[in-house]
Structure 1
Amino acid sequence: LDVRPSDSCTLSYVCTLQVSYRIPALVNLNDDQTFLALAEKRKTLSDTNAEVLVMRRGTLKDAKTQDVEWVSGHQLLSSACLPNHCSMNPCPVYERESKTLFLFFVCVPTRVLDLTADVIGEQMKEWAHLRLIIPAYVYRYTGKPDCTSRCCLSFCCFTSFALAFCSDDQRITWKVGNQMDVESCECQMAEIIDEEGKSTLYCNARTRLGYRSEALSYNSGEDFGTVLSPNKLIETGNGCLGSVLSFLEQSNPTKTWLLYSYPSNPKNRVDLGLYLN
Protein backbone atom coordinates (compact mmCIF):
# COMPACT_ATOMS: atom_id res chain seq x y z
CA LEU A 1 0.00 0.00 0.00
CA ASP A 2 1.52 3.29 -1.13
CA VAL A 3 0.50 5.99 1.33
CA ARG A 4 1.72 9.52 0.63
CA PRO A 5 2.19 12.02 3.50
CA SER A 6 -1.07 13.77 2.70
CA ASP A 7 -2.91 10.45 2.77
CA SER A 8 -1.37 9.63 6.13
CA CYS A 9 -2.75 12.84 7.60
CA THR A 10 -6.18 12.06 6.19
CA LEU A 11 -6.17 8.55 7.63
CA SER A 12 -5.14 9.85 11.04
CA TYR A 13 -7.93 12.42 10.94
CA VAL A 14 -10.53 9.78 10.04
CA CYS A 15 -9.40 7.50 12.90
CA THR A 16 -9.58 10.38 15.34
CA LEU A 17 -13.21 11.03 14.39
CA GLN A 18 -14.21 7.37 14.55
CA VAL A 19 -17.22 6.60 16.75
CA SER A 20 -16.19 4.21 19.50
CA TYR A 21 -17.83 2.26 22.31
CA ARG A 22 -15.84 2.12 25.55
CA ILE A 23 -16.12 1.10 29.22
CA PRO A 24 -18.46 -1.89 28.77
CA ALA A 25 -20.58 -3.32 31.57
CA LEU A 26 -22.59 -6.56 31.65
CA VAL A 27 -25.39 -7.69 33.94
CA ASN A 28 -27.26 -11.00 33.95
CA LEU A 29 -30.93 -11.16 34.96
CA ASN A 30 -31.18 -14.85 35.81
CA ASP A 31 -34.96 -14.85 36.12
CA ASP A 32 -35.61 -14.70 32.39
CA GLN A 33 -32.08 -15.53 31.15
CA THR A 34 -31.57 -11.97 29.91
CA PHE A 35 -28.22 -10.24 29.52
CA LEU A 36 -27.85 -6.47 29.29
CA ALA A 37 -24.65 -4.96 27.88
CA LEU A 38 -23.99 -1.25 28.38
CA ALA A 39 -21.22 1.06 27.18
CA GLU A 40 -20.27 4.66 26.50
CA LYS A 41 -20.83 5.85 22.95
CA ARG A 42 -18.09 8.33 22.07
CA LYS A 43 -17.75 10.66 19.10
CA THR A 44 -14.03 9.85 18.98
CA LEU A 45 -11.58 7.63 20.84
CA SER A 46 -10.96 10.38 23.40
CA ASP A 47 -12.32 10.20 26.96
CA THR A 48 -13.48 13.80 26.60
CA ASN A 49 -15.92 12.95 23.80
CA ALA A 50 -18.26 10.55 25.57
CA GLU A 51 -21.71 11.28 24.18
CA VAL A 52 -24.40 8.97 25.53
CA LEU A 53 -24.84 5.58 27.19
CA VAL A 54 -26.14 2.72 25.06
CA MET A 55 -27.57 -0.70 25.89
CA ARG A 56 -28.07 -3.98 24.02
CA ARG A 57 -30.18 -6.94 25.16
CA GLY A 58 -29.25 -10.61 24.80
CA THR A 59 -31.02 -13.87 25.62
CA LEU A 60 -29.49 -17.17 26.67
CA LYS A 61 -30.53 -19.61 23.95
CA ASP A 62 -28.67 -22.75 25.00
CA ALA A 63 -27.79 -23.34 28.65
CA LYS A 64 -25.47 -26.20 27.73
CA THR A 65 -23.32 -24.26 25.27
CA GLN A 66 -23.94 -20.88 26.97
CA ASP A 67 -24.83 -19.32 23.60
CA VAL A 68 -26.34 -15.84 23.87
CA GLU A 69 -28.35 -14.31 21.03
CA TRP A 70 -28.05 -10.51 20.89
CA VAL A 71 -30.63 -8.23 19.32
CA SER A 72 -29.43 -6.16 16.39
CA GLY A 73 -28.67 -2.53 17.12
CA HIS A 74 -28.60 -0.85 20.50
CA GLN A 75 -30.85 1.34 22.61
CA LEU A 76 -29.85 4.91 23.43
CA LEU A 77 -30.37 5.68 27.11
CA SER A 78 -31.44 9.22 26.35
CA SER A 79 -32.78 9.85 29.86
CA ALA A 80 -29.39 9.04 31.41
CA CYS A 81 -27.86 12.43 30.69
CA LEU A 82 -27.80 16.11 31.56
CA PRO A 83 -27.46 19.07 29.17
CA ASN A 84 -23.84 19.89 28.42
CA HIS A 85 -22.58 16.91 30.40
CA CYS A 86 -20.95 13.61 29.45
CA SER A 87 -22.54 10.37 30.61
CA MET A 88 -19.76 7.92 31.47
CA ASN A 89 -18.82 4.77 33.40
CA PRO A 90 -22.08 2.76 33.32
CA CYS A 91 -22.49 0.46 36.33
CA PRO A 92 -25.69 -1.66 36.29
CA VAL A 93 -26.74 -3.18 39.62
CA TYR A 94 -29.61 -5.66 40.00
CA GLU A 95 -31.32 -5.77 43.42
CA ARG A 96 -32.86 -9.23 43.42
CA GLU A 97 -35.47 -9.03 46.18
CA SER A 98 -37.26 -5.97 44.80
CA LYS A 99 -36.44 -6.99 41.19
CA THR A 100 -35.01 -3.55 40.53
CA LEU A 101 -32.24 -2.71 38.09
CA PHE A 102 -30.25 0.43 38.84
CA LEU A 103 -27.84 2.20 36.54
CA PHE A 104 -25.12 4.18 38.27
CA PHE A 105 -23.06 6.47 36.08
CA VAL A 106 -20.95 9.61 36.16
CA CYS A 107 -22.77 12.70 34.96
CA VAL A 108 -21.67 15.53 37.26
CA PRO A 109 -23.43 15.44 39.56
CA THR A 110 -23.71 11.66 39.80
CA ARG A 111 -27.23 10.34 39.21
CA VAL A 112 -29.04 7.06 39.73
CA LEU A 113 -31.56 5.81 37.16
CA ASP A 114 -34.24 3.20 37.86
CA LEU A 115 -34.57 1.02 34.73
CA THR A 116 -36.87 -1.64 36.17
CA ALA A 117 -40.00 -0.96 34.14
CA ASP A 118 -38.12 -0.38 30.89
CA VAL A 119 -35.96 -3.48 30.71
CA ILE A 120 -37.19 -6.11 33.18
CA GLY A 121 -40.98 -6.11 33.28
CA GLU A 122 -43.28 -7.01 36.13
CA GLN A 123 -43.24 -10.83 36.26
CA MET A 124 -40.19 -11.92 38.30
CA LYS A 125 -39.84 -14.78 40.77
CA GLU A 126 -38.85 -14.36 44.42
CA TRP A 127 -35.23 -14.19 45.52
CA ALA A 128 -33.59 -14.52 48.92
CA HIS A 129 -32.64 -11.33 50.76
CA LEU A 130 -29.17 -10.05 49.91
CA ARG A 131 -27.12 -7.00 50.83
CA LEU A 132 -26.81 -4.53 47.97
CA ILE A 133 -23.20 -3.35 47.57
CA ILE A 134 -22.01 -0.54 45.28
CA PRO A 135 -18.23 -0.17 44.70
CA ALA A 136 -16.99 3.43 44.80
CA TYR A 137 -13.95 5.56 45.60
CA VAL A 138 -13.25 9.00 47.02
CA TYR A 139 -10.35 11.44 46.81
CA ARG A 140 -8.62 12.56 49.99
CA TYR A 141 -6.09 15.37 50.32
CA THR A 142 -2.73 13.82 51.19
CA GLY A 143 -0.41 16.74 50.39
CA LYS A 144 1.32 19.12 52.76
CA PRO A 145 -1.02 21.15 55.00
CA ASP A 146 0.41 24.45 53.72
CA CYS A 147 0.53 23.48 50.04
CA THR A 148 -0.53 26.35 47.77
CA SER A 149 0.79 24.90 44.54
CA ARG A 150 -1.32 24.82 41.40
CA CYS A 151 -0.59 21.11 41.24
CA CYS A 152 -3.62 20.63 43.47
CA LEU A 153 -5.80 21.52 40.52
CA SER A 154 -4.58 18.35 38.78
CA PHE A 155 -5.05 16.13 41.85
CA CYS A 156 -1.30 15.72 42.44
CA CYS A 157 -1.87 16.22 46.17
CA PHE A 158 -4.91 13.94 46.33
CA THR A 159 -5.06 10.16 46.70
CA SER A 160 -8.04 7.94 45.92
CA PHE A 161 -9.37 5.28 48.29
CA ALA A 162 -11.95 2.61 47.48
CA LEU A 163 -15.01 1.92 49.61
CA ALA A 164 -18.49 0.42 49.35
CA PHE A 165 -22.03 1.75 49.73
CA CYS A 166 -24.24 -0.89 51.40
CA SER A 167 -28.01 -1.31 51.71
CA ASP A 168 -29.83 -4.02 53.68
CA ASP A 169 -33.39 -2.81 53.03
CA GLN A 170 -33.64 -2.83 49.23
CA ARG A 171 -31.93 0.59 48.76
CA ILE A 172 -34.26 2.54 51.11
CA THR A 173 -31.34 3.46 53.37
CA TRP A 174 -27.60 3.31 52.73
CA LYS A 175 -24.45 2.98 54.81
CA VAL A 176 -21.03 4.18 53.70
CA GLY A 177 -18.25 1.69 54.37
CA ASN A 178 -14.79 2.63 55.60
CA GLN A 179 -12.14 3.57 53.07
CA MET A 180 -9.34 1.15 52.25
CA ASP A 181 -6.01 1.89 53.92
CA VAL A 182 -4.04 1.88 50.65
CA GLU A 183 -4.30 3.82 47.40
CA SER A 184 -7.19 2.39 45.39
CA CYS A 185 -9.17 4.06 42.62
CA GLU A 186 -11.67 2.55 40.15
CA CYS A 187 -12.59 -0.81 41.60
CA GLN A 188 -14.74 -3.89 41.25
CA MET A 189 -15.90 -6.27 43.95
CA ALA A 190 -16.93 -9.92 43.98
CA GLU A 191 -18.27 -12.27 46.66
CA ILE A 192 -16.40 -15.42 47.68
CA ILE A 193 -18.28 -18.23 49.45
CA ASP A 194 -16.08 -20.71 51.32
CA GLU A 195 -16.78 -24.39 52.01
CA GLU A 196 -18.59 -23.50 55.24
CA GLY A 197 -20.87 -21.03 53.48
CA LYS A 198 -19.16 -17.94 54.91
CA SER A 199 -19.05 -14.84 52.71
CA THR A 200 -15.97 -12.73 51.95
CA LEU A 201 -15.98 -9.66 49.71
CA TYR A 202 -12.98 -9.27 47.39
CA CYS A 203 -11.99 -5.83 46.04
CA ASN A 204 -9.64 -5.24 43.08
CA ALA A 205 -8.71 -1.59 42.44
CA ARG A 206 -6.72 0.58 40.06
CA THR A 207 -3.68 2.47 41.38
CA ARG A 208 -0.76 4.65 40.25
CA LEU A 209 1.72 2.35 41.99
CA GLY A 210 2.50 -0.07 39.16
CA TYR A 211 0.38 -2.84 40.66
CA ARG A 212 -3.26 -3.45 41.59
CA SER A 213 -4.58 -3.02 45.13
CA GLU A 214 -6.41 -6.07 46.47
CA ALA A 215 -8.25 -6.38 49.77
CA LEU A 216 -10.79 -8.55 51.59
CA SER A 217 -13.82 -7.61 53.68
CA TYR A 218 -15.27 -10.06 56.20
CA ASN A 219 -18.27 -7.86 57.08
CA SER A 220 -19.91 -7.40 53.67
CA GLY A 221 -18.11 -4.21 52.68
CA GLU A 222 -18.23 -2.22 55.91
CA ASP A 223 -14.44 -2.18 55.83
CA PHE A 224 -11.60 -3.88 53.95
CA GLY A 225 -9.26 -4.63 56.81
CA THR A 226 -7.21 -7.32 55.07
CA VAL A 227 -4.98 -5.87 52.35
CA LEU A 228 -3.37 -8.57 50.23
CA SER A 229 0.33 -8.61 49.34
CA PRO A 230 1.13 -6.07 46.58
CA ASN A 231 2.92 -6.62 43.27
CA LYS A 232 1.02 -9.81 42.38
CA LEU A 233 -1.12 -8.15 39.68
CA ILE A 234 0.63 -5.52 37.57
CA GLU A 235 -0.93 -2.20 36.61
CA THR A 236 -0.68 -1.12 32.99
CA GLY A 237 0.64 2.34 32.08
CA ASN A 238 -1.29 4.99 34.00
CA GLY A 239 -3.85 2.43 35.05
CA CYS A 240 -7.03 0.93 33.66
CA LEU A 241 -10.35 -0.38 34.98
CA GLY A 242 -10.10 -4.14 35.52
CA SER A 243 -12.95 -6.64 35.54
CA VAL A 244 -13.54 -9.26 38.23
CA LEU A 245 -16.46 -11.61 38.78
CA SER A 246 -17.15 -14.68 40.88
CA PHE A 247 -19.05 -17.83 40.03
CA LEU A 248 -19.89 -21.03 41.88
CA GLU A 249 -18.65 -24.42 40.79
CA GLN A 250 -21.36 -27.07 40.84
CA SER A 251 -19.62 -29.29 43.36
CA ASN A 252 -20.02 -30.55 46.90
CA PRO A 253 -18.95 -28.64 48.87
CA THR A 254 -19.55 -25.58 46.70
CA LYS A 255 -16.43 -23.75 45.53
CA THR A 256 -16.16 -20.14 44.38
CA TRP A 257 -13.95 -19.14 41.46
CA LEU A 258 -12.70 -15.63 40.72
CA LEU A 259 -12.22 -14.55 37.09
CA TYR A 260 -10.13 -11.42 36.54
CA SER A 261 -9.45 -9.82 33.15
CA TYR A 262 -6.98 -7.02 32.49
CA PRO A 263 -4.28 -5.95 29.98
CA SER A 264 -1.14 -7.96 30.74
CA ASN A 265 1.19 -5.42 29.10
CA PRO A 266 2.84 -3.19 31.77
CA LYS A 267 2.95 -0.14 29.48
CA ASN A 268 -0.05 -0.18 27.15
CA ARG A 269 -3.66 -1.36 27.14
CA VAL A 270 -2.97 -4.41 24.98
CA ASP A 271 -2.51 -8.19 25.45
CA LEU A 272 -5.66 -9.02 27.39
CA GLY A 273 -4.98 -11.42 30.24
CA LEU A 274 -7.45 -13.75 31.96
CA TYR A 275 -6.70 -14.94 35.50
CA LEU A 276 -8.67 -17.72 37.20
CA ASN A 277 -8.29 -18.34 40.91
Structure 2
Amino acid sequence: MTEFKLTDITPNLTDEDAQQQILSWLHRNPNKQIFSIDEVIGDYLLKNKPPNLETQSGFYKPVTCETVTGSEPFYDAIWYLCSRSILRPYPIREQNELQFPKNFSAKFVITQYGRSWLEKFDTNNCTPSEYGRFSQLLSSRVYLFGDGYNSRSQEAIGCYRSHNYFSCCVMCGSAYESVLLALAIKKKGNEDEILTMYSASQGRSRVENYLIGQKNQFIQKEFRKYTDLLKYWRDDASHGAASSIQEEEAYTSLILLLRFVQFAEKNFAELTSP
Protein backbone atom coordinates (compact mmCIF):
# COMPACT_ATOMS: atom_id res chain seq x y z
CA MET A 1 0.00 0.00 0.00
CA THR A 2 1.29 3.47 -0.93
CA GLU A 3 0.75 6.51 1.28
CA PHE A 4 0.26 9.76 -0.61
CA LYS A 5 0.80 12.94 1.45
CA LEU A 6 0.94 16.70 1.07
CA THR A 7 4.72 16.89 1.03
CA ASP A 8 4.76 14.65 -2.05
CA ILE A 9 3.17 17.39 -4.16
CA THR A 10 3.50 20.70 -2.28
CA PRO A 11 6.56 20.75 0.00
CA ASN A 12 6.29 24.54 0.37
CA LEU A 13 2.53 24.82 0.94
CA THR A 14 1.59 28.11 2.64
CA ASP A 15 -1.37 28.90 4.86
CA GLU A 16 -2.72 31.08 2.04
CA ASP A 17 -2.61 28.14 -0.37
CA ALA A 18 -4.37 26.04 2.25
CA GLN A 19 -7.00 28.72 2.84
CA GLN A 20 -7.75 28.83 -0.87
CA GLN A 21 -8.24 25.06 -0.89
CA ILE A 22 -10.53 25.19 2.14
CA LEU A 23 -12.72 27.93 0.67
CA SER A 24 -12.82 26.17 -2.69
CA TRP A 25 -13.92 22.96 -0.99
CA LEU A 26 -16.64 24.79 0.96
CA HIS A 27 -17.96 26.35 -2.25
CA ARG A 28 -18.14 22.92 -3.87
CA ASN A 29 -19.92 21.41 -0.88
CA PRO A 30 -22.52 24.02 0.07
CA ASN A 31 -24.80 21.54 1.85
CA LYS A 32 -22.12 20.20 4.15
CA GLN A 33 -23.07 21.13 7.71
CA ILE A 34 -20.09 19.67 9.55
CA PHE A 35 -16.74 18.85 8.00
CA SER A 36 -13.31 17.74 9.07
CA ILE A 37 -10.06 19.19 7.84
CA ASP A 38 -9.03 15.65 6.89
CA GLU A 39 -11.81 15.69 4.27
CA VAL A 40 -10.41 18.87 2.72
CA ILE A 41 -6.85 17.57 2.70
CA GLY A 42 -7.95 14.21 1.30
CA ASP A 43 -9.88 15.95 -1.48
CA TYR A 44 -6.84 18.10 -2.31
CA LEU A 45 -4.59 15.04 -2.44
CA LEU A 46 -6.94 13.12 -4.70
CA LYS A 47 -7.25 16.07 -7.10
CA ASN A 48 -3.47 16.30 -7.37
CA LYS A 49 -2.61 12.61 -7.37
CA PRO A 50 -0.17 11.73 -10.17
CA PRO A 51 -1.70 9.49 -12.85
CA ASN A 52 -1.14 5.76 -12.44
CA LEU A 53 0.37 6.26 -8.98
CA GLU A 54 -0.88 2.80 -7.98
CA THR A 55 1.25 1.08 -10.65
CA GLN A 56 4.32 3.31 -10.95
CA SER A 57 6.54 0.75 -9.23
CA GLY A 58 5.54 -1.93 -11.75
CA PHE A 59 3.19 -3.54 -9.27
CA TYR A 60 -0.28 -2.50 -8.24
CA LYS A 61 -0.29 -0.91 -4.80
CA PRO A 62 -3.46 0.70 -3.42
CA VAL A 63 -2.99 4.36 -2.47
CA THR A 64 -4.16 5.87 0.81
CA CYS A 65 -4.23 9.58 1.59
CA GLU A 66 -2.11 10.44 4.62
CA THR A 67 -3.54 13.71 5.97
CA VAL A 68 -1.18 14.53 8.85
CA THR A 69 2.28 15.07 7.35
CA GLY A 70 2.69 18.66 6.20
CA SER A 71 -0.84 19.61 7.22
CA GLU A 72 0.06 22.46 9.59
CA PRO A 73 -0.74 25.20 6.98
CA PHE A 74 -4.30 23.87 6.79
CA TYR A 75 -4.71 24.22 10.53
CA ASP A 76 -3.20 27.69 10.47
CA ALA A 77 -5.70 28.61 7.75
CA ILE A 78 -8.60 27.09 9.68
CA TRP A 79 -7.65 29.07 12.77
CA TYR A 80 -7.60 32.28 10.76
CA LEU A 81 -11.06 31.54 9.31
CA CYS A 82 -12.32 30.86 12.83
CA SER A 83 -10.87 34.19 14.02
CA ARG A 84 -12.84 35.87 11.23
CA SER A 85 -16.06 34.18 12.46
CA ILE A 86 -16.41 32.37 9.13
CA LEU A 87 -15.96 28.97 10.79
CA ARG A 88 -16.19 27.70 14.35
CA PRO A 89 -14.92 24.48 15.92
CA TYR A 90 -17.44 21.69 16.29
CA PRO A 91 -17.73 20.26 19.80
CA ILE A 92 -15.06 17.65 20.44
CA ARG A 93 -16.47 14.14 20.75
CA GLU A 94 -13.34 12.01 20.67
CA GLN A 95 -10.04 12.39 22.49
CA ASN A 96 -7.96 11.80 19.35
CA GLU A 97 -9.35 15.01 17.89
CA LEU A 98 -6.94 16.86 20.18
CA GLN A 99 -3.87 15.07 18.90
CA PHE A 100 -1.14 16.85 16.90
CA PRO A 101 -1.46 18.68 14.57
CA LYS A 102 -5.16 19.24 15.24
CA ASN A 103 -4.72 20.47 18.81
CA PHE A 104 -7.96 22.41 19.17
CA SER A 105 -10.47 20.48 17.05
CA ALA A 106 -10.73 18.28 14.00
CA LYS A 107 -14.24 19.25 12.88
CA PHE A 108 -15.73 22.61 11.96
CA VAL A 109 -19.03 24.29 11.16
CA ILE A 110 -19.67 27.25 8.85
CA THR A 111 -21.21 30.08 10.84
CA GLN A 112 -24.27 31.98 9.68
CA TYR A 113 -22.03 34.94 8.91
CA GLY A 114 -19.62 32.59 7.12
CA ARG A 115 -22.32 31.37 4.76
CA SER A 116 -23.17 34.96 3.85
CA TRP A 117 -19.46 35.72 3.37
CA LEU A 118 -18.95 32.72 1.11
CA GLU A 119 -21.88 33.72 -1.08
CA LYS A 120 -20.40 37.16 -1.74
CA PHE A 121 -16.78 36.50 -2.47
CA ASP A 122 -15.25 34.60 -5.35
CA THR A 123 -12.43 32.34 -4.17
CA ASN A 124 -11.09 31.86 -7.72
CA ASN A 125 -9.36 35.24 -7.46
CA CYS A 126 -6.86 36.58 -5.00
CA THR A 127 -8.71 38.24 -2.12
CA PRO A 128 -7.63 40.55 0.68
CA SER A 129 -7.96 37.60 3.05
CA GLU A 130 -4.84 36.24 1.37
CA TYR A 131 -2.81 38.93 3.00
CA GLY A 132 0.64 37.97 1.71
CA ARG A 133 -0.33 37.46 -1.92
CA PHE A 134 -2.60 40.49 -2.05
CA SER A 135 0.01 42.56 -0.25
CA GLN A 136 2.61 41.57 -2.84
CA LEU A 137 0.32 42.54 -5.71
CA LEU A 138 -0.01 46.04 -4.26
CA SER A 139 3.58 46.49 -3.14
CA SER A 140 4.95 45.37 -6.52
CA ARG A 141 4.01 48.83 -7.87
CA VAL A 142 6.02 50.79 -5.31
CA TYR A 143 8.67 51.51 -7.94
CA LEU A 144 6.07 53.57 -9.81
CA PHE A 145 4.05 55.17 -7.03
CA GLY A 146 6.49 55.55 -4.14
CA ASP A 147 6.76 54.78 -0.46
CA GLY A 148 3.75 56.90 0.50
CA TYR A 149 1.52 54.70 -1.63
CA ASN A 150 3.15 51.53 -0.36
CA SER A 151 2.79 52.33 3.34
CA ARG A 152 -0.86 53.33 2.94
CA SER A 153 -1.82 50.32 0.83
CA GLN A 154 -0.17 47.93 3.29
CA GLU A 155 -1.84 49.69 6.20
CA ALA A 156 -5.19 49.24 4.44
CA ILE A 157 -4.65 45.48 4.28
CA GLY A 158 -3.68 45.40 7.95
CA CYS A 159 -6.84 47.31 8.87
CA TYR A 160 -8.98 44.89 6.89
CA ARG A 161 -7.43 41.87 8.59
CA SER A 162 -8.02 43.41 12.03
CA HIS A 163 -11.67 44.22 11.15
CA ASN A 164 -11.06 48.00 11.18
CA TYR A 165 -13.17 48.61 8.11
CA PHE A 166 -13.51 52.38 8.48
CA SER A 167 -9.73 52.71 8.70
CA CYS A 168 -9.34 50.35 5.74
CA CYS A 169 -11.49 52.61 3.56
CA VAL A 170 -9.57 55.70 4.69
CA MET A 171 -6.23 54.05 3.90
CA CYS A 172 -7.45 52.84 0.49
CA GLY A 173 -8.50 56.39 -0.35
CA SER A 174 -5.19 57.73 0.92
CA ALA A 175 -3.28 55.18 -1.15
CA TYR A 176 -5.25 56.32 -4.20
CA GLU A 177 -4.30 59.93 -3.49
CA SER A 178 -0.64 58.90 -3.21
CA VAL A 179 -0.89 57.32 -6.67
CA LEU A 180 -2.65 60.43 -7.97
CA LEU A 181 0.13 62.65 -6.68
CA ALA A 182 2.86 60.39 -8.04
CA LEU A 183 1.28 60.47 -11.51
CA ALA A 184 0.72 64.21 -11.47
CA ILE A 185 4.27 64.94 -10.26
CA LYS A 186 5.68 62.73 -12.99
CA LYS A 187 3.57 64.55 -15.57
CA LYS A 188 4.38 68.05 -14.28
CA GLY A 189 8.01 67.43 -13.45
CA ASN A 190 7.70 69.72 -10.43
CA GLU A 191 6.74 68.21 -7.06
CA ASP A 192 6.32 71.52 -5.23
CA GLU A 193 3.76 72.83 -7.74
CA ILE A 194 1.64 69.68 -7.50
CA LEU A 195 1.76 69.63 -3.69
CA THR A 196 0.75 73.30 -3.59
CA MET A 197 -2.17 72.54 -5.90
CA TYR A 198 -3.13 69.54 -3.75
CA SER A 199 -3.00 71.55 -0.52
CA ALA A 200 -5.33 74.26 -1.83
CA SER A 201 -9.14 74.22 -1.63
CA GLN A 202 -10.60 71.34 -3.67
CA GLY A 203 -7.02 70.19 -4.14
CA ARG A 204 -7.75 66.56 -4.97
CA SER A 205 -10.21 67.51 -7.69
CA ARG A 206 -7.79 70.07 -9.12
CA VAL A 207 -4.98 67.50 -9.33
CA GLU A 208 -7.34 64.98 -10.94
CA ASN A 209 -8.43 67.54 -13.51
CA TYR A 210 -4.79 68.40 -14.25
CA LEU A 211 -3.97 64.72 -14.70
CA ILE A 212 -6.88 63.49 -16.85
CA GLY A 213 -8.91 66.58 -17.81
CA GLN A 214 -7.46 66.65 -21.34
CA LYS A 215 -7.17 62.89 -21.82
CA ASN A 216 -9.41 60.85 -24.11
CA GLN A 217 -12.80 59.63 -22.94
CA PHE A 218 -11.63 56.05 -22.42
CA ILE A 219 -8.89 57.09 -19.98
CA GLN A 220 -11.24 59.42 -18.11
CA LYS A 221 -13.99 56.81 -17.88
CA GLU A 222 -11.69 54.02 -16.70
CA PHE A 223 -9.97 56.30 -14.21
CA ARG A 224 -13.24 57.33 -12.59
CA LYS A 225 -14.65 53.80 -12.69
CA TYR A 226 -12.03 52.70 -10.20
CA THR A 227 -11.71 55.86 -8.13
CA ASP A 228 -15.20 57.29 -7.54
CA LEU A 229 -16.13 54.75 -4.85
CA LEU A 230 -12.64 54.84 -3.37
CA LYS A 231 -13.01 58.57 -2.82
CA TYR A 232 -16.61 58.32 -1.60
CA TRP A 233 -15.91 55.68 1.05
CA ARG A 234 -12.66 57.35 2.06
CA ASP A 235 -14.49 60.63 2.74
CA ASP A 236 -17.47 58.89 4.33
CA ALA A 237 -15.28 56.87 6.69
CA SER A 238 -13.15 59.84 7.76
CA HIS A 239 -16.10 62.05 8.72
CA GLY A 240 -17.75 61.98 12.13
CA ALA A 241 -21.30 61.32 10.95
CA ALA A 242 -22.88 57.88 11.14
CA SER A 243 -21.86 55.60 8.29
CA SER A 244 -22.94 52.24 6.90
CA ILE A 245 -19.40 51.14 6.03
CA GLN A 246 -18.84 47.48 6.88
CA GLU A 247 -16.67 44.64 5.62
CA GLU A 248 -18.16 44.59 2.13
CA GLU A 249 -17.24 48.25 1.52
CA ALA A 250 -13.72 47.69 2.87
CA TYR A 251 -13.29 44.57 0.74
CA THR A 252 -14.50 46.41 -2.36
CA SER A 253 -12.20 49.35 -1.60
CA LEU A 254 -9.19 47.06 -1.56
CA ILE A 255 -10.21 45.39 -4.82
CA LEU A 256 -10.80 48.78 -6.45
CA LEU A 257 -7.42 50.00 -5.25
CA LEU A 258 -5.72 46.97 -6.79
CA ARG A 259 -7.62 47.41 -10.07
CA PHE A 260 -6.75 51.10 -10.12
CA VAL A 261 -3.01 50.62 -9.63
CA GLN A 262 -3.06 47.96 -12.35
CA PHE A 263 -4.83 50.43 -14.64
CA ALA A 264 -2.38 53.20 -13.71
CA GLU A 265 0.59 50.93 -14.35
CA LYS A 266 -0.76 49.80 -17.72
CA ASN A 267 -1.47 53.39 -18.81
CA PHE A 268 1.41 55.07 -17.01
CA ALA A 269 2.92 56.60 -20.14
CA GLU A 270 -0.41 58.00 -21.31
CA LEU A 271 -1.37 59.36 -17.89
CA THR A 272 1.97 61.11 -17.36
CA SER A 273 2.41 62.50 -20.86
CA PRO A 274 1.95 66.29 -21.25
TM range (shorter): under 0.3
Greater Rg, structure 1 or structure 2? 2
Kindly indicate which of the two structures has a greater share of residues assigned to strand.
1
Give TM-score scaled by structure 2 length: 0.20
Of structures 1 and 2, the one scoring higher in RCO (CA 8 A, sep 6+) is 2
Kindly indicate which of the two structures has a greater share of residues assigned to helix.
2
Give TM-score scaled by structure 1 length: 0.19
